[in-house]
Structure 1
Amino acid sequence: MIHQSAFAHYEWDDVIYESWEIGPNLLDKFVAECRLPDAGILGFNVTVPHKERVIQFLDSLAPEARLSGAVNTVVNHNGELIGYNTDGPGFMRSLMMTGFDPKSKKIVILGAGGAARGIAFSLASGGVSSITIANRSIERASRLTSDLNREFPGLSDVCSLSSYDVWSASGGKVDLMVQATSMGMLNGPNQLDSPVAFSNI
């Protein structure tokens, strides 16, 4: 894992990064155990499907996590658990490194989960002209759109996760499409699939 390689680079030989699978019904117990002094846990990352639900078990949130309503990194400060969201800032940094400036651009985000939330709010803060949220669950997409429009009035709209609806909602022109669904994830059940047909991109 890249984390362990980073620890080795800085000669943090006594720090170990491990992957643990925690079921939804065990999340509260896991977080509580992370607080214990003898657990020796400095922090942990959070991924699907816990990025939003974990917030209720934390003590405080960094500004970007509070704004997006999603957490992917938790730091243990002497038993106080602080949630951060590095999805958005990390995405923006990578995007800018390619030479693409999202300012005034039309964006389509596929998905409305924790990663989509972090990325959407960072793009909004970066001055994009519009964000269309396309998701299988219109209800969940609408919640994200409402949250975005509360902070950035009139910025976002919503559509279903179909090629036709995505292009119709965007007016047939998209400057950047962000794939933020779980489909296509490595070792996942649909790792070779795409939520939008490649022939329509």
Structure 2
Amino acid sequence: MKADKKTADKAAKLKQKLLDADYRYYILNKPDIDDYTYDMMMKELQEIEAAYSELKTPDSPTQRVGSDLSNDFPTVIHDIPMLSLSNSYDENDLDEFDKRINNLLKGEKYKYVCELKFDGIAVSLTYKNGLFVQGATRGDGVRGDDITSNLKTVRAIPLQLDKQIDIEVRGEVFFMLKDFFRINEEQEAEGKPRYANPRNTAAGSLKLKDSR
């Protein structure tokens, strides 16, 4: 069954809204919609594309991981793609996820280990002979920005490991709330605008052209 004009127009509007939101979130670090609204629009578009395959285009936001690629930094190709986690807002999604796991394991017993997810910036740290040689953003999942100099300013990231090994470490760069509040107090005291949220403040700090 082919989609009618109303459905096609709806899909086109959702695509544009999501692309605009991606640009503001990943590139400008100035989001104008909350995560829940974004996820609901994405879910609606995914459902439309699942029902009408002709509306699923290569440039659709559903076909890629959100990208933070910038023209201001050299590009890094990830040896293994950096993918993102799916969101869930209701029990039905969790039930479906559990069914997929059960089918995958073919009835074997399993347990879940849950942890809080910090809302930060995904980064990749590459060590050669135990030395930190390259740091990159997730980018579009395949290519990221080389932000090595900026990551070297993060004191929680060791510049040298105890062992001389080659390894890639992936994680999140984030601000603790107490640090975010302190930074905003300093901004306000200096007559500067306050930052919107910890996630975008972390993103902005990693994309500064001057790492100092």
Q: Which bin holds the TM-score, normalised by the shorter protein?
A: under 0.3
Give the TM-score normalised by the residue count of structure 2. 0.25
Give the TM-score normalised by the residue count of structure 1. 0.26
Larger radius of gyration: 2
Bigger fraction of residues in strand: 1
